[in-house]
Amino acid sequence: MTTSQRFGRVATGVAQKHLDAFAQTTPGVVSAVLLSADGFEVASLQVGKGGAARLAAMGSSLSAIGSAIAKEAGIVECNRMIIESDSGTIVIMTIAEARPPMSLAVIASDASMLGQLLWAAKNCCNAIARAFRE
């Protein structure tokens, strides 16, 4: 079963469009992957096939570990992970109410601004959530 068959062809297509729009309108976005919680790539942007698959798996592990840590710490929900370095930022954002559960992983260069990046990513996630809520 291909990705689009498993996650729904229409919804996947819509998600792809939202990813494209997000990257075009947000400075510094290098690549992005929409991933299922169990590590499959649903849609991706500017990452080669192998790269997208790897990012999806790694993103899901990070996300899962982040949630587990949050739970240990008594934080009810971990919905964002931010990994920052001098040369760039990685954001992994949980998409609320998506069925199946998903996250958006974004890789941004140092040309991005964190606040703007998070805001735009959140909008993108909300739009994707609507597409997959059905």
> What are the residues binding other proteins (CB under 8 A)?
1, 6-7, 36-40, 53-54, 56-58, 60-65, 67-68, 72, 100-101
What Å distances lie between residue 42 and 9, 10, 28, 78, 117, CA to CA? 10, 12, 22, 21, 21
Least separation, in Å, of the C-beta of 6 and other proteins? 6
Cα 58 to the center of its chain, rounded Å: 12
The alpha-carbon radius of gyration of the chain (Å, integer) is 14
Measuring CA to CA, which residue among 96, 132, 90, 92 is closest to residue 109? 90
Least separation, in Å, of the C-beta of 78 and other proteins? 11
In this structure, the dihedral spanned by the alpha carbons of residues 85, 90, 96 and 101, taken in order and rounded to 10 degrees, is -130
Closest CB to other proteins among residues 3, 112: 3
Closest CB to other proteins among residues 98, 117: 98
Closest CB to other proteins among residues 56, 91: 56
Closest CB to other proteins among residues 82, 111: 82
Least separation, in Å, of the C-beta of 113 and other proteins? 30
